[in-house]
Amino acid sequence: MTTTDHKKLGIMYCVTAFTFFLIGGALAGAMRAELADTGSQLVGAQSYNTLFTVHGIIMIFLFVAPFGVGLANYLVPLQIGAPDMAFPRLNAMGYWFFAGGGLLVLLSSFASDAGGVATGWYLYPPLSGPRYSPGVGPDLLILGLALVAISTVMSGVNVITTTFLMRAPGMTMWRLPVFTWNVVVTAILGLVAFPPAVAAFVLLLFDRRLAGQAFDPLGGGDPIVYQHLFWFLGHPEVYILILPFFGVITETIPVFSRKPLFGYTGFILATLAIGALSTGVWAHHMFTTGVVDNPFFSAMTFTIAVPTGVKFFNWIGTMWGGKLSFRVPMLFSIGFLLNFLIGGITGVMLASAPLDFQLADSYFLVSHFHYTMMGGSVFGIFAAIYFWWPKAFGYMLSERFGRAVFALMLVGFNLTFWPQFVVGLRGMPRRIVDYAPGLGWDTPNLVSSLGALVLSAGVLLFLVDAFTSRRRRTPAGDDPWGGFSLEWATTSPPPEHNFSSLPRIRSERPAFDMRHPELVSGPPATASEPPA
């Protein structure tokens, strides 16, 4: 409870976040059950609205983002050869802010006289204002999100400081493992994006409780200003949700291809470009408002497709000429590639303002972002779990179970979300509890709900795997995969201060170089290292 060890905190972050995934998934299951058929059968409109609001908030702010923070906490010091994070106590405080914020978010979903918060995850005023959402739900949600935002800033400061100041001798920035690079850029985005969002939330709170009129048109306020502030967070946020998992699969694919990453420098430059561009595209969420410069934001958004496309070639180039072994982390990484490509292609469609006039706020959009976040980030999360579990706990997860988990999730995921593209094109808007028959929406919705069952079976099977593997305890050894980065050069689990001795760092693959000294290029092994 009072630990400041980055490894324990990292695991606490991941376990807490994964618990939120199970909660958010259960809420999604309830929604899919409701939508399986026309009519409203299971939950009333108000509860449905609370379900998707809380599901969205949980998945984004309490699961995917903090899971990335957890991984960063666990891995950054290990990957750069440091004994801990730069500010261990700040780190612990960040965790508790996150957990507390999460609790408030859960409370906001029901602890309210007028029902739970039901505003959608982006809390647009005037709907989220005092007149239309009088209960305390939105207040609790705003406070919870503020705590989570502060926690994000704390961990961001920590990751950046640690990486810049605590690298082991020889670990230059151009030898930094790609996962660490990706979470550094993520941390910078967090520092840029969260403060304006907190400002927006605080103004909203003033409107709600202190008769402020910032966003209320009846009092001369402007709801569009809120949308700008919100999406100035909201869009970088989606890169906060994906970059760490780009990092994950860029660690696993080289290891299981038995090759170095193809185009390391280009990959890092692409990551930096994505980070920079992602702060200039926010108003693509506002094309249909008619009050933003659509061509500018459309062009900026198209541009982001370029560095993202580059990464696909990095991944393919890495597998090219390799000796691929399809262990479970590699399977999930391949699943990431397959799903994320569809998310990317549909993203380019949504970036076109005139196409967005049709696609915005439809199920096409719902499917698009689930292809990036569920099919992408969450597959990345499972790749990370299967890859680093043996490092963290010293024993393996089951390869047989893992393959079944992967198959169920890949099939279930695509069954759930592919029909949503179809139904979106047929005109089904998002966030509706019910739909009329005869519009061609019934069958795709039924298939989607059945797919969600298959997907859940995959997730549940993972829990079975975790429990049975824990019982079986098949020893992992220090380096079960033939890993490349420094965490594979220490014991599993690592000792309290991570390393008793460090190998020489002469490339971005120190653990690989240690096993293959004959392949190391550059200065001979006797040359002295640059000072720390």
Q: Which residues bind ligand HEM (CB under 6 A)?
A: 25, 28, 31-32, 52-53, 55-56, 59-60, 64, 120-121, 241, 366, 370, 373-374, 378, 416, 430-431, 452, 455
Nearest residue relative to Cu ion (C-beta): 235
- Which of other proteins, ligand HEM, Cu ion, none sits in contact with 64, Cβ below 5 to 8 A by type? ligand HEM
- Give which of other proteins, Cu ion, ligand HEM, none residue 235 binds (C-beta under 5 to 8 Å, depending on kind): Cu ion
- Residues pairing with 475 in the sheet: 395
DSSP secondary structure letter of residue 327 = -
* Cα 475 to Cα 19, 392, 412, 462, distances in angstroms: 26, 12, 31, 19
Which among Cu ion, ligand HEM, other proteins, none contacts residue 477 (Cβ within 5 to 8 A by kind)?
A: none
Q: Which of 313, 393, 460, 491 binds other proteins (CB under 8 A)?
A: 313
Minimum Å gap between C-beta 18 and other proteins is: 27
Q: Which stretch binds other proteins (CB under 8 A): 22-30, 79-87, 147-155, 218-226?
A: 218-226
What are the DSSP calls for 438-473, one per residue? TSS-HHHHHHHHHHHHHHHHHHHHHHHHHHHHHHH-
Minimum CB–partner distance for residue 320 and ligand HEM (Å): 31
Three-class DSSP category at 362: strand
Q: Which does 121 bind (CB under 5 to 8 A by kind): ligand HEM, Cu ion, other proteins, none?
A: ligand HEM
DSSP summary character for residue 391: H
Among the listed ranges 139-147, 211-219, 229-237, 397-405, the one in contact with Cu ion (CB under 5 A) is 229-237
312 makes contact, choosing from Cu ion, ligand HEM, other proteins, none, with CB < 5 to 8 Å by partner type, with other proteins
Amino acid identity, position 164: F
Residue 38 binds which of Cu ion, ligand HEM, other proteins, none (CB < 5-8 A, kind-dependent): none
Minimum gap (Å) between residue 444 Cβ and Cu ion:
22
Phi-psi category of residue 129: left, alpha or beta, with phi > 0 → left and psi -120 to 50 → alpha? beta
CB–CB of 65/240 below 8 Å?
yes
Token pair 């409870």 is found at: 1
The residue number with the shortest CB distance to ligand HEM is 56
Give dist(CA 26, CA 55) in Å, integer: 9
Please say which residue, 6 or 235, places its beta carbon nearer to Cu ion. 235
Minimum CB separation of residue 366 from ligand HEM in Å reads 5
262 binds other proteins (CB under 8 A): yes
Decide which of ligand HEM, Cu ion, other proteins, none touches 357; Cβ closer than 5 to 8 Å per partner kind: other proteins
Nearer to ligand HEM, 374 or 486 (CB): 374
Using DSSP, state whether 429 is helix, strand or coil.
Answer: strand
Out of 7, 235, 311, 370, name the contact with Cu ion by CB under 5 A. 235
Q: Tell me: does residue 296 bind other proteins (CB under 8 A).
A: no
265 contacts other proteins (rule: CB under 8 A): yes
Nearer to other proteins, 169 or 429 (CB): 429
The string over 108-119, giving b where at least 16 C-beta atoms fall within 10 Å of a residue's C-beta and e elsewhere, is: bbeebeebbbbb
Site for other proteins in 352-391 (CB under 8 A): 352-355, 357-358, 360-362
Which residues, other chains included, contact 524 with Cβ-Cβ below 8 Å and sequence gap of 6+? none
**By CB under 5 A, how many residues form the interface with Cu ion?**
1
Name residue 395's beta-bridge partners: 475
> What is the crossing angle of helices 88-108 and 137-165, to 10°?
160
Asked if residues 397 and 406 have their Cβ atoms less than 8 Å apart, the reply is no
- Of 206 and 418, nearer to other proteins (C-beta) is 418
Residue 352 CB, nearest approach to other proteins (Å): 4
Of 273, 388, 370, 386, the C-alpha closest to 331 is: 386
Q: Does 450 bind other proteins (CB under 8 A)?
A: no
Judged by beta carbon, residue 164 or residue 174, the one nearer other proteins is 174
CB of 284 to Cu ion, least distance (A): 6
Residues 6+ apart with CB under 8 A from 332: 249, 379, 380, 382, 383, 386, 406
For residue 362, the cross-strand partners are 429
Neighbours of 130 (CB within 10 A): 18
Residue bearing tokens 């941390």: 187
Asked if 74 contacts 27 with a C-beta cutoff of 8 angstroms, the reply is no
Task: Tell me how far, at minimum, the Cβ of 270 lies from ligand HEM, in Å.
Answer: 22
Tell me: does residue 488 bind other proteins (CB under 8 A).
no
Q: Which residues bind Cu ion (CB under 5 A)?
A: 235
